[in-house]
């Protein structure tokens, strides 16, 4: 990827993305609200902007209704209405924008990373490991994706890049057993953080979800308080299915926080608004690229602005 | 079978109790009958309110159709069909639906739904189109897509299928020089599939690898070369330029866009960009075994005009299916993938067994051993969740089941109770006195109450079956008659 594009902030990239989307769709946001009355038709257009950002029909309607409650039938400028829309989104997301805090009393603080296939779990672990290392912490990584071909090798490269300790077993071996050993060792060494990768799994596969439950169960045999953080990694390109993912993963392994990846594309990840409203789970960070620094803290205000394409 | 299932589905709203579940009798009954059903039920449910009013009036006006189509619009958006595509779709359906045929038909509501479904199938493409291999061997296939869409797995699946089913000699090559261990991943998958992979040369760039792959394929006498590329964002200029360079170097007969069926509104942007920049010739949808409604399929088909050629339906390398427009259409509309359910049932349930069971159910001679058989078959079919994902009107039932705490563990426990009985007891539950019940409870590791509850459920179920059997013998069955079977406040505990 070109250096120049790398340097652009993620917000900038999001904006670029949205500009492209809008242009492609032929109904640029710019032309929609140049001083006009906020009537039913205008609200409908607003609602559609939100739907296109993956908020889902019901959430988009709810957000627009809130806007209508104070401004219906008033003359509004484009800038004003976008700001208001961004504010509404930020108001929902603000309370859940919580950074991931490592509890230094825990040695190690165990972070279990879960999610559907291909959402970016392994890459996210690599990025987190680098961040923690840079903060001067000792980090262990357990290659718990023992299913996918070469997942172990992939994570090993990340461990080497970041200078983290690395635990693995042969492909096809028991992930829970590996997690048990890794935690036992990390505990003995007094490491600060243990990051545990898991194989990607669709949330409707009962057998695979049961395996995840087993990992948690086994970890608790070593440390009754583990895992201290259970992350669910979500893909910004995913649509309304994210709601199912959050619900089922939460039920199975007590997800404590979310990370959304791939926000450097044209997808807006607006389903997070629905997720926040429904589940209230903390959103810790977002992924905006493949390099080590592309994991950023989640900022509700910036996210709201990017979502509605406010410049 | 069909009649009975429909009858059960007609019983809305079902009151499920929370707590120690008795309602699984109902669920079991539904599942027992889940052989076939008519489509359109879930959507019909949505539209019931709208059309109830309509039928009272007898005449369907254009504005009535418009109202119904607003519901269709919501259904499509909830299924993640992209907004611009939904808009076009609804406009086209409206044109068709206000045609005189629909308005004058006996059941206008159903006609509208049929028009929607048919138009959806039409848009998705009539039938699966095979992969184009019409070229001088080695025929190059290029696999492209976003990060994490499932390209590498799909490439290996296609290779395996071409080799096993069409007896082609295939060479797999990974052009992903960016993601750590990506080439290694394809190599391992190739080994699992028994397909040759191009030896990895560190430091070589994608265009050079692709040329080397073609050269190697020629030397080995391979029929097909499948080139797996790195995941890339459609707005990443440098990466898009790279894949175009690969395309120009090898001139593939087929450029497949691998896309996740869970994709949301962004599907149109992705598909459009790949179509315009790279010139994709087909789409492979992945993760159709998830529980998403898969509206992305429609979005991408509509904006690119490219056929959806394949669907990835599981983690195993043989989990690759031809695309079935009608099934996907039903799913998008929230009607459940009944055909797949039937197929799955056929795979796992011995046919004779099923027929015997049906006979027994309808004649009322349904003993507790049959109940155990059912538990077993349900587990074989992927447990409750697996089944639920395929049933029509799934959202509602699923929620009710969750509220009722009805999960697979419960099935296992009830199965255990039955297994703790002697054969004699299973044939005739009337001999179960207190001491026998105590023994069974201890054997199954449950409380006596659990045993009693199971027996009660079993009795209710067989009672109900007998009544249903009688009712359905005459042919038609009225919802009122069925409702009479259900105690007013739902089932007793």
Q: From residue A136, how far is each of A104, A167, A186, A188, A235 by CA, in Å?
A: 12, 20, 16, 19, 29
Percent of chain B with pLDDT over 90: 42
Does B266 touch chain A if contact means CB atoms closer than 8 Å? Answer: yes
Q: B265 vs A271: CB contact, 8 Å cut-off?
A: no
Chain B residue numbers with beta carbons less than 8 Å from the beta carbon of A21 are: 269
Handedness of CA B51, B53, B59, B63 (dihedral sign): negative
Choose, out of A149, A159, A243, the residue to mutate when testing the contact with B (most B CBs < 10 Å).
A149
Look at residue B193 in the predicted model and tell me its pLDDT: 95
Nearest-by-Cβ selection for A54 from B187, B265, B315 = B265
CB-CB neighbors (< 8 A) of B382 in chain A: 206
Is pLDDT of A248 > 60? yes
**Residue B355 confidence (pLDDT) above 80:** no
Residue B296: its chain A contacts at CB < 8 A? 239
Query: What phi, psi does B317 have (nearest 5°)?
Result: -70, -15
Nearest residue of chain A to residue B235 (CA atoms): A265
Q: What is the mean pLDDT of chain A?
A: 88
Interface contact B263, partner A, CB < 8 A: yes
Does the pLDDT of residue A61 top 90, yes or no? yes
Neighbouring-strand partners of residue B379? none
Contact A57 B272 (CB under 8 A): no
Lowest mean pLDDT: which of A3-17, A58-72, B71-85? Answer: A3-17
pLDDT at B364: 58
Residue among B185, B263, B289 minimizing CB distance to A239: B263
Tokens in use for B402?
A: 């969750």
Query: How many angstroms separate the CA of residue A29 from the nearest CA in chain B?
Result: 14
A243 Cβ under 8 Å from any chain B Cβ: no
Instruction: Check CB contact under 8 Å for B181 and A150.
Output: yes
Q: Does B429 touch chain A (CB under 8 A)?
A: no
pLDDT tens digits, residue range B422-431? 988 888 888 9
Q: Which residue of B has its CA nearest to A153?
A: B181
- Whole-angstrom distance, CA of residue B229 vs CA of residue B141: 11
**With contact defined as beta carbons under 8 Å apart, do B5 and B34 qualify?**
yes
B231 pLDDT tier (thresholds 50, 70, 90): very high
The two three-digit tokens of residue A249, written as one number: 């993963």
State the smallest CA–CA distance between residue A103 and chain B in angstroms.
30
ipTM > 0.85 (yes/no): yes
Contact B238 A2 (CB under 8 A): yes
Q: Which two tokens stand for residue B132?
A: 């184009």
Strands (E), B272-317: 282-286, 308-312
Q: What is the mean pLDDT of residues A77-91?
A: 89
Q: Which residues of A, range 133-162, sit inside 8 Å of B by Cβ?
A: 147-151, 153-158
Task: Please choose, from the candidates B167, B216, B163, the residue with its C-alpha nearest in 3D space to the C-alpha of residue B190.
Answer: B163
B216 has pLDDT over 50: yes
Residues A121 and A115: their CA atoms lie apart, in Å, by: 7
Work out the pLDDT band at B463, boundaries 50, 70, 90.
confident
Contact A202 B188 (CB under 8 A): no
The answer to which of A272-281, B7-16, B144-153, B180-189 has the lowest mean pLDDT is: B7-16
Suggest the residue from A118, A239, A288 to mutate for an interface test with chain B (most B CBs closer than 10 A): A239
Mean of pLDDT over chain B: 76
Per-residue pLDDT tens digits for B59-89? 566 777 777 788 888 888 988 999 999 999 9
Is there a contact between B181 and A271 if contact means CB atoms under 8 Å apart?
A: no
Could you give the maximum distance between any two Cα atoms of chain B, in Å? 80
d(CA B404, CA B409) in angstroms, rounded, equals 13
pLDDT at A159 over 50: yes
Q: Tell me whether B184 touches chain A (CB under 8 Å).
A: yes
E-strand ranges in B6-81 read none
B335-360 mean pLDDT: 54
Burial of B326 (0-12, 13-18, 19+ CB in 10 A): middle
d(CA B170, nearest CA chain A) in Å: 20
User: If you search the block for the tokens 């004779």, which residue do you land on?
Assistant: B352
A vs B: CB pairs below 8 A: 167
Give me the residues of B, 315-334, that contact A with CB < 8 A: 315
Strand pairing class (A229-235; A257-261)? parallel
Asked if A165 and A159 count as a contact pair (C-beta separation under 8 A), the reply is yes
Q: Which of B146, B184, B382 sits opposite A153 (nearest CB)?
A: B184
> Any idea which residue has 């697979």 for tokens?
B408
User: What does the pLDDT average to over A207-213?
Assistant: 92
- Rounded Cα–Cα distance for residues B158 and B136 (Å): 19
CB contact under 8 A, B265 and A117: no
Q: What is the pLDDT of residues A212-225, one digit of tens each?
A: 999 999 999 999 99
Q: Does B189 touch chain A (CB under 8 A)?
A: yes
pLDDT tens per residue, range A165-198: 999 999 999 999 999 999 999 999 999 999 999 9
In the Cβ-directed half-sphere of A200, how many Cα atoms lie within 13 Å?
A: 22
CA–CA separation, A195 vs A169, rounded Å?
15
Distance between CA B227 and CA B294 in Å, rounded?
26
Gap between the Cα atoms of B206 and B228, Å rounded: 10
């Amino acid at each position: 990827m070109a250096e120049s594009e790398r340097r652009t902030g993620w917000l900038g990239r999001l904006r670029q993305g949205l500009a492209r989307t809008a242009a492609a769709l032929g109904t640029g946001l710019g032309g929609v609200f140049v001083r006009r009355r906020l009537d039913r038709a205008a609200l409908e257009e607003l609602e559609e902007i939100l739907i296109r950002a993956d908020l889902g029909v019901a959430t988009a309607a709810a957000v627009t209704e809130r806007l209508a409650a104070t401004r219906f039938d008033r003359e509004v400028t484009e800038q004003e209405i976008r700001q208001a829309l961004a504010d509404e989104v930020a108001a929902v997301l603000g309370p859940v924008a919580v950074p991931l805090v490592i509890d230094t009393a825990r040695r190690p603080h165990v972070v279990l990373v879960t999610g559907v296939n291909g959402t970016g779990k392994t890459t996210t672990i690599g990025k987190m490991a680098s961040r923690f290392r840079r903060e001067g912490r000792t980090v262990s990584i357990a290659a718990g994706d023992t299913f996918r071909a070469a997942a172990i090798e992939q994570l090993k490269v990340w461990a080497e890049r970041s200078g983290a300790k690395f635990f693995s077993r042969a492909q096809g071996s028991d992930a829970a057993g590996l997690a048990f050993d890794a935690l036992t060792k990390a505990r003995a060494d007094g490491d600060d953080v243990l990051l545990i990768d898991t194989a990607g799994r669709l949330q409707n596969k009962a057998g695979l979800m049961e395996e995840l439950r087993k990992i948690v169960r086994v970890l608790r045999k070593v440390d009754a308080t583990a895992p201290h953080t259970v992350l669910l990694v979500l893909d910004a390109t995913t649509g309304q299915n994210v709601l199912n993912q959050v619900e089922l993963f939460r039920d199975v392994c007590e997800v404590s926080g979310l990370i959304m990846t791939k926000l450097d594309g044209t997808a807006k990840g607006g389903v997070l608004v629905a997720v926040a409203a429904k589940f209230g789970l903390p959103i810790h960070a977002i992924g905006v690229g493949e390099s080590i620094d592309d994991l950023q803290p989640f900022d509700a205000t910036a996210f709201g602005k990017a979502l509605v394409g406010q410049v | 079978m069909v009649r009975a299932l429909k009858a059960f589905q007609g019983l809305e709203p079902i009151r499920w109790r929370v707590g120690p579940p008795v309602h699984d009798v109902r669920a079991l009954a539904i599942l027992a009958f889940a052989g076939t059903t008519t489509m359109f039920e879930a959507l019909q449910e949505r539209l019931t309110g709208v059309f109830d009013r309509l039928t009272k009036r007898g005449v369907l006006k254009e504005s009535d159709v418009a109202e119904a189509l607003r519901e269709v619009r919501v259904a499509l958006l909830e299924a993640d069909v992209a907004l611009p595509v939904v808009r076009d779709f609804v406009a086209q359906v409206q044109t068709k639906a206000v045609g005189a045929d629909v308005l004058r038909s006996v059941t206008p509501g159903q006609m509208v739904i049929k028009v929607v479904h048919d138009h959806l199938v039409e848009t998705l493409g009539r039938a699966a189109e095979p992969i184009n291999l019409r070229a001088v061997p080695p025929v190059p296939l290029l696999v492209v897509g976003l990060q994490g869409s499932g390209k590498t797995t799909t490439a290996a699946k296609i290779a395996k299928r071409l080799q096993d089913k069409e007896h082609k000699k295939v060479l797999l090559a990974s052009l992903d020089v960016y993601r750590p261990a990506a080439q290694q991943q394809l190599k391992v998958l190739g080994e699992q599939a028994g397909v040759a992979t191009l030896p990895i040369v560190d430091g070589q760039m994608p265009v050079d690898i692709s040329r080397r792959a073609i050269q190697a394929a020629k030397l080995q006498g391979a029929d097909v070369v499948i080139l797996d590329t790195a995941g890339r964002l459609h707005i990443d200029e440098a990466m898009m330029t790279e894949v175009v360079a690969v395309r120009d170097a090898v001139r593939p007969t087929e450029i497949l866009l691998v896309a996740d069926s869970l994709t949301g509104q962004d599907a149109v942007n992705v598909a459009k960009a790949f179509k315009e920049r790279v010139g994709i010739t087909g789409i492979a949808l992945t993760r159709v075994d998830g529980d998403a409604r898969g509206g992305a399929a429609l979005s991408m088909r509509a904006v690119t005009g490219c056929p959806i050629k394949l669907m990835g339906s599981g983690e195993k390398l043989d989990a690759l299916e031809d695309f079935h427009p009608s099934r996907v259409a039903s799913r998008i509309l929230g009607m459940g993938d009944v055909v797949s359910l039937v197929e799955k049932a056929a795979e796992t349930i011995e046919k004779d067994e099923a027929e015997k069971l049906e006979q027994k159910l309808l004649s009322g001679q349904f003993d507790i051993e049959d109940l155990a058989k059912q538990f077993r078959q349900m587990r074989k079919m992927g447990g409750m969740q697996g089944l639920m994902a395929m049933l029509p009107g799934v959202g509602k039932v699923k929620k009710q089941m969750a509220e009722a705490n009805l999960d697979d563990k419960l099935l296992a426990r009830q199965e255990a109770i039955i297994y703790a009985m002697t054969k004699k007891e299973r044939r005739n539950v009337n001999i179960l006195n207190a001491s026998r019940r105590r023994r069974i409870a201890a054997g199954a590791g449950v409380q006596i109450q659990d045993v009693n509850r199971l027996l009660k459920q079993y009795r209710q179920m067989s009672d109900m079956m007998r009544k249903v059997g009688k009712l359905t013998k005459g042919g038609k069955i009225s919802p009122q008659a069925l409702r009479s079977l259900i105690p007013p406040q739902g089932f007793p505990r």
